[in-house]
Amino acid sequence: MVFYKTNEEIELLRESNLLVSKTLTEIASMMKPGINTLAIDKRAEEFIRDHGAEPGFKGYNGYPNTLCISVNDQVVHGIPSDYELKEGDIVSVDCGTKKNGFYGDSAYTFMIGEVNADIRKLLKVTRECLYLGIEKAVTGNRVGDISYAIQTHAEANGYSVVRELVGHGVGRQLHEKPEVPNYGRKGVGMKLNRGLVIAIEPMINMGKKEIKQARDGWTISTADKMPSAHFEHTVAIGDQKADILSTFDCIDKEIIKK
Ligand code: MF3
Ligand code: CO
């Protein structure tokens, strides 16, 4: 079942999603060589609770932490640990919150110090994929229009799209209908209407699309050990333009500062 949101509910979703963006901004300044990923997770949990909300992922299907922190060839769902970030790493940080009964969900891939040009391009293109998808998140289009836009741009740059993990509706549940794949065909899938709120989250691999799951039951990595990038926004479908409920503006500003 698809849950359409009222304007009031969309404002609550905006609140939860802006808190995710502020949390990612808060930890942006910690993204330096030598810090372990569990320390970043701790700060995020504290920050979310200080703002009258709960971590959205912690306890979800038994997930143990506040953030998913996925480094280099890890695609998503990396569990925070004693791993210390090092110069040249790329780090996808996925964050969820629950406030006033509604979820926020957004992810950003950070660079640690100097990152090689090939990998910087992967991040740039993945982020472009997200925004090209968002451009299609308007009334009258279909889910497949979003999927097609993402896949086309990724593959035009020689990259591949992860198939097994997809975007999703967001609301009182973290994962609602519909599924929003990052690959697909124009004009197919569910019609997009006002009131629909979805997370769009391209996971783009520099090499082949195949992934594997670690024995921890969570961490997803590329099968060929090449790097992977991930950016995610939660958006409300709009008439001419999607309403992006999370934001990267404050994260980008924080990164330029340091
Ligand atoms: N953004 C991710 C997703 O939508 C976060 C889920 S992690 C989990 O799949 F731990 F909550 F499963
Ligand atoms: Co998500």
Output the domain CATH number for residue 199.
3.90.230.10
Task: Give pLDDT, residue 257.
Answer: 83
Average pLDDT over residues 195-216: 98
Judged against a pLDDT cut of 80, whether residue 22 lies above it is answered with: yes
Q: Is residue 180 in a domain?
A: yes
Residues 122, 127: Cα–Cα separation, whole Å? 9
Task: Give pLDDT, residue 104.
Answer: 98
Residues 191, 75: Cα–Cα separation, whole Å? 29
Which residue's CA is the closest to the ligand 1 atom numbered 11?
A: 57
Q: What is the number of the ligand 1 atom nearest to the C-alpha of 175? A: 4
Task: Give pLDDT, residue 193.
Answer: 98
Q: How far is the CA of 232 from the centre of ligand 2 (A)?
A: 7
Q: Is residue 189 in a domain?
A: yes
Structural domain count of the chain: 1
Q: Is residue 190 in a domain?
A: yes
Q: Is residue 96 in a domain?
A: yes
Average pLDDT over residues 81-92: 98
**In terms of residue numbers, what domain contains 99?**
7-257
Q: Is residue 131 in a domain?
A: yes
Q: Please return the burial class of 135, using the count of CB atoms within 10 Å of its CB with bins 0-12, 13-18 and 19+.
A: middle
Ligand 1 pocket, 41 CB below 6 A? no
Q: Is residue 1 in a domain?
A: no
Q: What is the number of the ligand 1 atom nearest to the C-alpha of 107? A: 1
Q: Is residue 251 in a domain?
A: yes
Q: With a threshold of 0.85, does the pTM exceed it?
A: yes
Q: Is residue 2 in a domain?
A: no
